[in-house]
Amino acid sequence: MPRRATMNNIATAVTLRRIRVLNDFFRATFLGGKVVITSGVASLPLDVKARAMIQVQSFADFNADNDPHDEHDFGSFEVAGAKFFWKIDYYDVLCEFGSEDPADPEKTTRVLTIMLAEEY
């Protein structure tokens, strides 16, 4: 029995690491999914939007409060006096339902949303 628990823990750790790596790559490059911005972000001056996108791509302040599942799928930061959130969600390839396996990029479309905190 303990052996099975250990194997499950290893499988879970490997899956979690794969999700985290896929999320980090997508967030840093905006490749491998869809990036959307909310209407509040869209209405900001171009330079503020650009700075916000750079902040998302370079975000590294993951901790137990903002990343409790260790997937690197959420962050917050401030730019030009405005607080922003970004979030990665996992959908099936047609973006109709949630993904059955976020660790498998063949079964998952990642959607990164950049929003003002007040729009959350």
Report the pLDDT value the prediction gives residue 4, as an integer from 0 to 100.
53
Report the pLDDT value the prediction gives residue 1, as an integer from 0 to 100.
45
Number of domains making up the chain: 1
Strands 109-116 and 82-91: antiparallel
List the pLDDT tens digit at each of the 120 positions of the chain.
455 556 578 889 999 999 999 999 999 999 999 999 999 999 999 999 999 999 999 999 999 999 999 999 999 999 999 999 999 999 999 999 999 999 999 999 999 999 999 999
Q: Give the integer Cα–Cα distance in Å for 23 and 41.
A: 22
Whether pTM exceeds 0.85: yes
φ, ψ (nearest 5 deg) of residue 5: -60, -40
Which candidate, 15, 6, 5, places its Cα nearest to that of 71?
A: 15
Residue numbers of the domain that contains 21:
2-119
Report the pLDDT value the prediction gives residue 63, as an integer from 0 to 100.
95
Report the pLDDT value the prediction gives residue 8, as an integer from 0 to 100.
76
